[in-house]
Amino acid sequence: MKYYIGIDLGGTNIKAGIVDEVCRILAQSDCPTALPRPAEEVCDDMLKACTATLEQAKIGWDDITGIGIGCPGTVNSQSGIVEYSNNLAWHQFPMRDYLQSRTERPVRVGNDANVAALGEVCAGSAKGAQSAVILTLGTGVGSGVVLNSQIWSGHRYGAAEFGHMVIEQGGRLCTCGRRGCLEAYASATALIAFTKEAIGRCPESLMGKIAAENGKIDGRTAFEAMRRGDAAAGEVAETYINYLACGVANIINILQPEMISLGGGISKEGDALLEPLRKKAYAQAFGGCDAGVTRIEACTLGNQAGIIGAAMLFHQTSELAGR
Ligand SMILES: [Zn+2]
């Protein structure tokens, strides 16, 4: 059995796990990223987390085939250089070489969303799919693409930004500065904005009562009110799903992947989200579409996708490729 270390480097936490070749996590440990600080210090803490995890799993460094890392930003997976990371505020940091020289183990680095997509393909909702797109509906809309069982990161490592596909010309302002991006309509942030606007228009709606009970408006408010029969909430959910379906149909038209998986908190709405989404996306896709062409499901690995996908960066060019 081969063992790998998978590291999910986030803006808040560093998560390290020992993963075996069949994608089981044997041990895991977390520590704060504690930004802002230099890349070298963060990497030193990553190594401490690795050592703690190895001790937990009773495995030595010599048993580790490789260390994979999912890192936010533009990551040159050939050179292992983090070219630019807005979240971490790093420029041109040679992460692979820094870690390789300290561990004497092979290190591979990829973009965090791409790596999480690989995790879902290796062990989660898209297991066994040759091609898949993973959309994470969170604060923004993150995305990763796996084609022929390999991450597609583009000519210069900036591909798969489906969140910044315009679905409404001249529409809502996106965090990227452009107007009408999918992220401005299909993120949890957008769903919360739609919910607030609807409560403003219909203050007597059940959404307002649920928000008052919970002390906040979040991505669940409208779906919960809809389940309890609130018509205005049903309209909010429908508007949200219409925009998401437009983006999903565009992805089908461009890539026709075997699988599109949705992650993030909103994906936990399950069939209330997925059933209307499938109907609307399949109806819009060019030339007719159904689950036999592109399946649409929720992600299943949650925040373990990053660790498993990072470890599986070592399978990407061996076992999985060329199937
Ligand atoms: Zn955008």
CA of 187 to the centre of ligand 1 (A): 11
Task: For residue 170, give both structure tokens.
Answer: 């001249």
Q: pLDDT band at 321, cuts 50/70/90?
A: very low
Q: How far apart are the first and last CA of the chain?
A: 21
Element at 136 (helix H, strand E): strand 132-137
Q: Quote the ligand 1 centre to 140 CA distance (angstroms).
A: 9
Cα-to-centroid distance, 189 and ligand 1 (Å): 13
Whole-angstrom distance, CA of residue 210 vs CA of residue 187: 21
Report pTM: 0.93
Yes or no: domain 3-120+304-321 corresponds to CATH 1.10.3720.10: no
Cα(316) to centroid(ligand 1), Å: 29
The DSSP annotation for 13-65 comes to EEEEEEEETTS-EEEEEEEE--SSS-HHHHHHHHHHHHHHHHHHHT--GGGEE
What would the pLDDT profile of 210-268 be if each residue is shown by its tens digit?
999 999 999 999 999 999 999 999 999 999 999 999 999 999 999 999 999 999 999 99
Tens-digit pLDDT profile for residues 101-149: 999 999 999 999 999 999 999 999 999 999 999 999 999 999 999 999 8
* Cβ < 5 A residues, ion ligand 1: 164, 174, 176, 178, 181
Where in the chain are all domains bearing CATH 3.30.420.40? 3-120+304-321, 129-298
Nearest in space to 206 (alpha carbons), one of 240, 214, 189:
214
Q: How far is the CA of 157 from the centre of ligand 1 (A)?
A: 17
Span from the CA of 249 to the centroid of ligand 1 (angstroms): 18
Q: For residue 318, is pLDDT > 50?
A: no
Q: How many A from CA of 254 to the centre of ligand 1?
A: 18
- State the distance from the centre of ligand 1 to the C-alpha of 119, rounded, in angstroms: 25
pLDDT at 215: 96
281 token code pair: 């996306």
Superfamily (CATH H level) for 129-298: ATPase, nucleotide binding domain (3.30.420.40)
**CA–CA gap between residue 13 and residue 18 (Å, rounded):** 17
pLDDT digits (tens, 9 = 90+) for 31-54: 999 999 999 999 999 999 999 999
| pLDDT top residue among 322 and 153 | 153
| % of the chain exceeding 70 in pLDDT | 98
Separation of CA 183 and ligand 1 centre (Å): 6
pLDDT classification of 317: cutoffs 50, 70, 90:
low
Give the whole-angstrom CA distance, residue 28 versus residue 52: 9
Alpha-carbon Rg of the chain, whole angstroms? 20
pLDDT of 87 reads 87
